[in-house]
């Protein structure tokens, strides 16, 4: 692997970008049809030396689209994860919860077996039971589809990062076995489905995955906090001989995310008045995920010529394009535009300020920086919700 190269003249190059990775061991996800209170559910299984082992459940509310999160006492989730899980319109309930039943096994060889039983904050008993002994897609690596970018971030209204959830092994629950049991407050809940999926593909629109990588591009997380010290990821900045940032990498559980710049991004405090620009991309393992353009505008005559300012902008111009997916997933990806276009609705802005004299004298200049992500146009997942159910039919 390429080694970080220190800049010339012992000058440390300021880098305004960051990259984080966390790991998720296994997951099952489904949408609900016509439930009065919830629109969907996701069960995650964690097995990590930092946060522990156990299950975590998301329930999305129908009325306000907030996400309720319940996790077992065996998990030690840092408070910084509240920003990591800023899904939909934001986080609702964040509750440590003792589950009456807590089982989630996902395997390419033996299928998926989930049995979860707990009460939500309203006292409603939530029960999910899925058993499918069918081995997953045999033509793919490790028996399951290799590589799928979940459109989780399409529904995020106020992003605190560009969240990339990459499923290294992914498939859909098959139909030969018994029907899933999904009950809330004693009432059976129907799951969404793609039209004709039953007779043509023999699958259910219940997603299962194993070995997931969660990547945050430029996360909006406060630095130097205890929670950040517990983060799973380790990032490294690679520079050219002038201190310009060529790439940032972050590794977790044998997987690597890379944030790459062409040309290498310069330290803004080392530049005179200038407008510079280039391209960037994010790769996860060997898959190109998103790419776009960057620009940096330097304003030298600012505040009586004693303070300089830089404006940085990242635009996303291309999202992920898959290869080697199962037929149903390929067709779904083709007809639902949000799978391809949601990354292009993200844009990042940063404003930096520093004293000119400090930049001349100090080996390292750390500008005052304010940054944020914005969403622009686009579907927020409504199209997918409509196609998979949206009040039409039931799953049996």
User: Can you give the pLDDT at residue 189?
Assistant: 92
Q: Are 42 and 57 in contact (CB under 8 A)?
A: yes
User: Can you give the pLDDT at residue 140?
Assistant: 52
Q: What φ, ψ does residue 112 adopt, rounded to 5°?
A: -125, 135
Peptide bond into 263 cis (omega under 30): yes
Q: What is the pLDDT along the chain (396 residues), one digit of tens a residue?
A: 444 444 443 345 789 999 999 999 999 999 898 889 998 999 999 998 889 999 999 999 988 889 999 999 999 988 777 777 677 788 899 999 999 999 999 988 888 999 999 999 999 999 999 998 877 655 454 455 568 888 888 888 889 999 999 998 888 787 566 788 999 999 999 887 665 555 444 556 788 999 999 999 999 855 434 444 344 457 899 999 888 999 999 999 899 999 999 999 998 888 766 789 999 999 999 889 999 999 999 886 555 667 888 999 999 999 888 766 666 666 667 767 777 788 999 999 999 988 877 655 555 678 889 999 999 876 555 555 554 554 443 343
The string of DSSP codes covering 145-212 is B--EEEGGGGG-SS-SSEEEEEEEEEEEEESSSPPPEEEETTEE-EEP--TTHHHHH-EEEEEEEEEE
pTM (two decimals): 0.84
The string of DSSP codes covering 332-358 is HHHH-THHHHGGGGEEEEEEEEEEHHH
Q: Are 84 and 94 in contact (CB under 8 A)?
A: no
Q: How far is CA 357 from the centre of its chain?
A: 40
SS3 56: strand
Q: Which residues contact 107 (CB under 8 A, 6 or more apart)?
A: 210
């Amino acid at each position: 692997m390429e080694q970080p190269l220190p800049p010339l003249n012992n000058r440390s190059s300021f880098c305004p970008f960051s990259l984080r990775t966390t790991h998720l061991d296994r997951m099952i996800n489904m949408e609900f049809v016509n439930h009065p209170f919830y629109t969907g559910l996701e069960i995650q299984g964690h097995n990590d030396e930092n946060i522990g082992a156990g299950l975590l459940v998301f329930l999305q509310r129908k009325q306000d689209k907030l996400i309720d999160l319940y996790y077992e006492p065996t998990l030690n989730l840092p408070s910084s994860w509240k920003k990591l899980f800023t899904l939909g319109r934001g986080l609702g309930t964040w509750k440590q919860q003792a589950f009456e039943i807590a089982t989630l096994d996902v395997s390419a060889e033996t299928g998926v077996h989930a049995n979860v039983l707990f009460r939500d904050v309203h006292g409603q008993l939530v029960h999910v039971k899925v058993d499918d002994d069918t081995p997953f897609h045999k033509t793919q690596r490790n028996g399951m589809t290799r590589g799928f970018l979940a459109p989780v971030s399409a529904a995020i209204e106020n992003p605190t990062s560009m969240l990339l959830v990459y499923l290294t092994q992914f498939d859909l629950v098959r139909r030969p076995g018994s029907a899933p049991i999904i009950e809330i407050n004693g009432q059976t809940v129907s799951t969404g489905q793609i039209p004709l999926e039953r007779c043509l593909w023999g699958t259910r629109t219940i997603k299962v995955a194993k070995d997931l990588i969660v990547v945050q591009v430029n996360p909006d997380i406060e630095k130097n906090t205890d929670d950040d010290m517990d983060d799973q990821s380790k990032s490294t900045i690679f520079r050219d001989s002038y201190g310009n940032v060529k790439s940032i990498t972050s590794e977790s559980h044998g997987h690597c995310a890379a944030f790459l710049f062409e040309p290498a991004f310069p330290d803004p405090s080392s530049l005179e008045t200038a407008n510079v620009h280039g391209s960037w991309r994010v790769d996860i393992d060997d898959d190109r995920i998103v790419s776009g353009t960057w620009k940096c505008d330097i304003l030298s005559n600012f505040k009586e010529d004693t303070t300089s300012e830089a404006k940085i902008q990242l635009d996303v111009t291309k999202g992920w394009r898959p290869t080697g997916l199962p037929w149903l997933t390929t067709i779904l990806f083709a007809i639902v535009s949000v799978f391809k276009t949601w990354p292009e609705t993200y844009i990042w802005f940063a404003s930096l300020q520093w004293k000119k004299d400090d930049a001349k004298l100090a080996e390292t200049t750390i500008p005052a920086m304010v940054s944020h992500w914005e969403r622009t146009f686009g579907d927020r997942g409504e199209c997918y919700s409509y196609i998979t159910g949206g009040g039409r039919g039931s799953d049996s």
